[in-house]
Amino acid sequence: MKISLLQVNTVVGDLTGNADRIAAGVREASRYRPDLIVAPELSLIGCPPHDLLLQTGFVKKSLAVLEDLAADLSGAPPVLLGFAEPNLSGTGRPLFNAAALLRDGEVRETFRKTRLSRNIPDEERYFEPWTGTPQVLRIGRRAIGVSIGDEIWRGGPMPEVIVNLSASPFVAGAQSLREESLSRIAKSHRVVIARVNLVGGNDDLVFDGRSSAFSADGTMVARGAAFAEDLVNVDLALPSLQAVAPDDVEPESEIWRALVLGTRDYVHKCGFTSVHLGLSGGIDSSLVAAIAVEALGPENVLGVLLPSPYTSAESIEDARELAENLGIRVECVPISQIMKAFDGALSDLFAGMRRDATEENLQARIRGTVLMALSNKFGSMLLSTGNKSEAAVGYCTLYGDTAGGLSVIGDLPKCMVYRICRWLNRKHPVIPERVLEKPPSAELRPGQTDLETLPPYDLLDAILYRYVDCSESPEEIIAAGYPAENVYRVIQMVHSAEFKRRQAAPGLKVSGRSFGVDWHMPIAAKPWWR
């Protein structure tokens, strides 16, 4: 039996565009003369669709587009693709997460998801799990089990062949585990598995593709490209390697490619063609600039220098050297006079009060205002350059360095920022060596360094990983050997900064628990651990 897996990059809400992408893939796959063509979970409507699913007009139009697509593909082999099916039972949630079989110009059968997952945000808000009889598709004499999303992991009795329609977002380090699990399931149940996964960036999620097929002895016989569209043709009767795309699961490589794809798709799918960012001469803005250049090309990236009286000459030199290495244009907008104007306007109100974080935050907000003005005037998207460590503890300024349309590295801990920069420099030396060596600083006052406010980043990131990603309690983190004073201080900072994160730009998810889709903490809450 021959199956073609359409690893497509769809756009949420672009119903006719998605149908056209699927149709083009079907026509290309038809040259292989497969018995079945499979597109990913929710590929017709785009994923994640969020509250578009509550708009009955959207769902109604998607069904009309589905019927048109079926008619358009009347001469093609059978096609299985993901869509949202109305729940007409009168009970439960309004929709099923479903797969439609298009055959002979019509929608012939539907297959519904039985096990909702956390891969698709708030899936239980919209979809009712199917509790009916097992779903089997018959192609000729072959009985094929159809599963959607996490159903592939559920175990239990299985037919000889399973096709799985998936929309699994990228998480660093998960691919090897996923392939090991699929191999184990195939081998233990003596079942052939063909899994098609979505690819592309939609909002804060990045889908990595890597569609795959496994023979009944657990051997991977096919795999689609990582972070790129692909067509995977596989003959399930041949238990040997057929079309296994090369892959690199080194964390730095995976995360880099995910952020490049996520940035490119977010910018383009939001209707922008160019981006700009503040270049401070620091490690974070250097990495964001490098990602933006890889995603969009140097001609579409502008670096903006915004020096204050506290900006060192070395930082300006480093920023300009980075821009030259990347081949991007640079503009300089000094903010000293703007700072003086604010000081003068507030002098009466602040009379007799010492200078503190208020004046430091004003600098960041002046920079944010200038950068947003450039966005308004030139129609360019501002990229925020903050990292996950800073966002976690609130070491950032609301309406200042948090301003922007996308937080590119908002899910990267500071130590991983350094790791990726060093990895990048081994491939293409673009980030000035001094940027990697000098102590990180916001440069909002003379001689300032991050360590005046925060624990060392290796300690901070370790505590944050245990608390945020692993949900460990303060007592558990302390029992693991971390200083109690640092633990309680960091966790207090995390909760005090919740209101900032709620107002920040969306960040691309690459970890097991990001501050976007995975984090739902109250703002006005008393610390329970005290």
Q: Tell me: the pLDDT tens digits for 94-153?
A: 999 999 999 999 999 999 998 888 777 788 999 999 988 778 899 888 899 999 998 877
The pLDDT value given to residue 301: 98
DSSP tag of 327 = T
pTM > 0.85: yes or no:
yes
DSSP H or E segment with residue 248: none
List the one residue out of 223, 118, 127 whose CA is nearest residue 175: 223
Question: What pLDDT is recorded for position 340?
Answer: 96
Residue with tokens 């949630």: 93
Q: What is the pLDDT of residue 141?
A: 85
* Torsion angles phi and psi, residue 147, rounded to 5: -125, 155
* Mean pLDDT across the chain: 94
Tokens standing for residue 240: 């040997």
| Composition of the chain by helix, strand, coil, percent to 5 | 40, 20, 40
Which pLDDT belongs to residue 241? 78
Q: How many CB atoms lie within 10 A of CB 456?
A: 12
Encoding tokens for residue 232? 């995977």
Determine the pLDDT at residue 155.
Answer: 58
Q: pLDDT at position 448, please?
A: 84
Query: What tokens were used for 13?
Result: 């809400």
Q: Provide the terminal-to-terminal Cα distance of the chain, rounded to the nearest Å.
A: 62
Render 5-46 in DSSP notation, one character per residue. EEE----TT-HHHHHHHHHHHHHHHHTT--SEEE--TTTTT-
Question: What 3-state DSSP class applies to 321?
Answer: helix
**Cα torsion angle, 143, 146, 150, 151, sign:** negative
Please say whether the beta carbons of 132 and 140 come within 8 A: no
Q: Give kind and range of the element (H or E) at residue 130.
A: none
Phi, psi (5° rounding) for residue 412? -105, 120
pLDDT in tens, 144-203: 999 999 887 765 557 889 999 999 999 999 999 999 999 999 999 999 999 999 999 999
Q: What is the pLDDT of residue 150?
A: 84
pLDDT at 32: 93
Low-confidence ranges of the chain (pLDDT < 50): none
Separation CA 138–CA 1 (nearest Å):
12
CB atoms within 10 A of CB 299: 12
Cβ proximity of 237 and 394 under 8 Å: no
pLDDT at 528: 84
Nearest to 409 by CA among 505, 271, 265: 505
pLDDT at position 154 is 67
Q: Read off φ and ψ for residue 367, nearest 5 degrees.
A: -60, -45
